[in-house]
Structure 1
Amino acid sequence: MKKEMKRPSFNGDGYWLNETWTEEQADDGCPVLIYFWSVSCSHCDKAVPALIRRLSRHRSDLHVISVHMPRSAKDKNTEKVKSKASSLNITHPLLVDQDHLVSDACQNDYVPSYYLFHPDKTLFHMQSGDSGMTLLTKKIDRLLQNL
């Protein structure tokens, strides 16, 4: 995804766990973090809980959307996704992106990946991989301080 690209739309379509995300939720001036993961990603087993721990202090000033991006046909088992999401303690909106609609809109091919969007929907920061949580946290803090 290029810096000039906008945050993908979430119109409520698709299979959501925990709660459905709507565009109206983003009208409150808070940035949005979208992160991609998969049940078959061993790196995600460590990265997602670490992310959730770091984000706990931003519950009121940052929207977080989890996107499950299946990497194989086996990853499309929604019961497996539900179980893994529960074990990872994912409680925010979680889109099960079976057809890669959001993944393709972000031109995302990797898990875990993180996309941080400014409230005006422009991309502020993107990174992939299981390391670099400190960098992501710094980017979130910087964006929130400059709003």
Structure 2
Amino acid sequence: MRLRQPMPEITGAAEWLNGEVTREQLVGEKPTLIHFWSISCHLCKVAMPSVNELRDQYKDNLNVMAVHMPRSENDMNMEEIKQVATEHSISQPIFVDHNHILTDAFENQYVPAYYLFDHNGLLRHFQAGGSGLKMLEKRVNRVLEEMEKEE
């Protein structure tokens, strides 16, 4: 995905964990962070506390959604996905993308990967890899500040 592209439709999940959300629910009132992860991804697990911190710190001003992107057959074990989600306190909605429908819509190739959309549903920041979550937080703040100026 390129910057300023609109958020794809959030459809085609093999299963949802922690509730289900639609694009319509994510666009309009506040920015949205969508992060891709996988149970076989060590960096994803290392980064998860930082993602959860962002989620909790900005809970009133930011939508957060997770996408579980399997990297192999072994990553499609629902019990293990649920277990890892619980172990790593992933309480936000999780789109389980066994068929890579959302992965393909985002043209995503990486885990972890982070997509930040503004409240209008336009992509404002993308990054991949386990480091650089401070940069992600700066981008969240910038998008929130821009939103305040609009009001």
Give TM-score scaled by structure 2 length: 0.92
- Structure 1 stretches lacking a partner, 5+ long: none
Cα distance between partner residues in 2 of 1:79 and 1:3: 35
Aligned pair count?
147
Mapped contact 2:4–2:124 kept (Cα < 8 A): no
Cα distance between partner residues in 1 of 2:4 and 2:143: 17
Q: CA deviation at 1:25?
A: 1.7
Alignment CA distance shift 1:13-1:36 (3 Å): closer
Classify the secondary structure of the residue corresponding to 2:21.
coil
Alignment CA distance shift 1:108-1:42 (3 Å): same
Output the amino acid matched with 1:94. I
Classify the secondary structure of the residue corresponding to 2:33.
strand
Q: Which of structure 1's runs of 4+ aligned residues deviate more than 2 A? A: 11-14
Cα distance between partner residues in 2 of 1:41 and 1:16: 20
Q: How does 1:1-147 map to 2 (within 5 A)?
A: 1-11=1-11, 13-147=13-147
Mapped contact 2:13–2:98 kept (Cα < 8 A): no
- Structure 2 stretches lacking a partner, 5+ long: none
Q: CA deviation at 1:27?
A: 4.6
String of CA shifts for 1:26-79, please: whole Å, max 9, x gaps.
Answer: 254211110000000011111112211133111011100100000000000111
Mapped contact 1:12–1:21 kept (Cα < 8 A): no
Alignment CA distance shift 1:5-1:68 (3 Å): same
Cα distance between partner residues in 2 of 1:8 and 1:23: 7
Cα distance between partner residues in 2 of 1:41 and 1:131: 14
Q: CA deviation at 1:12?
A: 7.3
Q: CA deviation at 1:118?
A: 1.1
Mapped contact 1:34–1:67 kept (Cα < 8 A): yes
Identity %: 39
Give TM-score scaled by structure 1 length: 0.94
